[in-house]
Amino acid sequence: MELKTITKNLSNGVLEIALNRPEVMNAINEEMGNELYHALKQADLDTGVRAIVLTGTGRGFCSGQDLGSDIGSLEHLSLTDIVRDRYNALIAKMISLRVPLIAAVNGMAAGAGLGLALACDLRLASADAQFTVAFNKIGLVPDSGVSYFLPRLIGLGKAVELTWTSDKISAEEAKQMGIVNQVYATDDFRNSVHQFAEYLASGPVNAFAMTKQLMTKNLESSVPQALENEAKFQGQAGQSDEFREGVAAFREKRRAEFWKS
pLDDT tens digit string along 169-228? 999 999 999 999 999 999 999 999 999 999 999 999 999 999 999 999 999 999 999 999
Q: Which amino acid is at 14?
A: V
Digit-coded pLDDT (tens) for 39-81: 999 999 999 999 999 999 999 999 999 987 766 655 566 889 8
Can you identify the CATH homologous superfamily of domain 205-260? Lyase 2-enoyl-coa Hydratase, Chain  A, domain 2 (1.10.12.10)
Q: Which 8-state DSSP code applies to residue 130?
A: E
What is the distance between the alpha carbons of residues 42 and 37, in angstroms, rounded to a whole number? Answer: 9
Asked whether the predicted pLDDT for residue 83 surpasses 60, the reply is yes
Output the pLDDT for position 238. Answer: 97
CATH number of 6-201: 3.90.226.10
Q: Which of 194, 235, 64 is nearest to 136 (CA)?
A: 64
Q: Where in the chain is the domain with CATH 3.90.226.10?
A: 6-201
Q: What is the pTM of this model?
A: 0.94
Q: Where in the chain is the domain with CATH 1.10.12.10?
A: 205-260
| Radius of gyration in angstroms for the set of CA atoms belonging to the chain, rounded to a whole number | 19
